[in-house]
Amino acid sequence: MKRDRQSLPPIILVTGTDTGVGKTVATAALAAALQSRGRSVAAYKPCQSGNKDGDSDCSEIARLAAPLTAEAGVVLEEPLAPVQAAAVDGVELPPLAAHAGRIRQLAARHDHVLVEGAGGLLVELDPDGGTLADLGTLLGDAAGFAVVARPSLGTLNHTGLTLEALDRRGLAVAGVILGSWPEHPGLAEQGNRAAFSDGTVPLLGTLPDSAAALPVRAFREQAPLWLEGIA
């Protein structure tokens, strides 16, 4: 039976259950899927670290999905959490309020703004300990979270902890996206997808492990099929 599709909020904060779960590809896929439905999209990364070679998450989102806008609030060289990377680079991180202000500006000119976090939900983004969860609080009712999770063993616990943290803060959850879905899923992956499909939290879709390696045209054409859970 086909599940109900979810209408996404104007501001979608894309977080992960950990680093390396596929947030950037998920953000690009969301951008492509929303644009296929005639929506205008901006992508914003509050803190981009690991940019020594100029290979940023924003550039990858722009390559795969070509949103109208793709930009980072601050760019750091070291592949570390933002506060640590900023300390090594000698860069002063802007406060969360500065990011919130820029996101609101983008939201005034686009149907959706996709905000990709750094690492997981509670990674600090500014010197005062502000996190992506705190940024969601600043943005209020206009914002909701898309949680990107691994499909493999252990993901139920990691995802449950992230969802619980969001719930305790009263933050809206648009749904869960399973990243890096293997070509030949095992019992663990199949069982986890079934668990995420129980309706407790919307499953927005499942992204194949090879998604970023596809030709750009194929990525943009297939993204709406992967994210069949969004309206």
**Residues designated catalytic:** 45
Q: Which residues pair with 71 in a beta bridge?
A: 44
Who's near 38: CB < 8 A, 6+ residues apart?
none
Which tokens in the block code for residue 130?
A: 């502000």
The residue count of the chain comes to 231
Q: What residues does 102 pair with on adjacent strands?
A: none
**DSSP character string of 30-67:** HHHHHHHTT--EEEEEEEE---TTS--HHHHHHHHH--
β partners of residue 41? 112
Which uninterrupted H or E stretch holds 203? strand 203-208
Please report how many Cα atoms fall inside a 13 Å half-sphere around the Cα of residue 146, on the Cβ side. 35
Give the chain's radius of gyration (CA, Å). Answer: 16
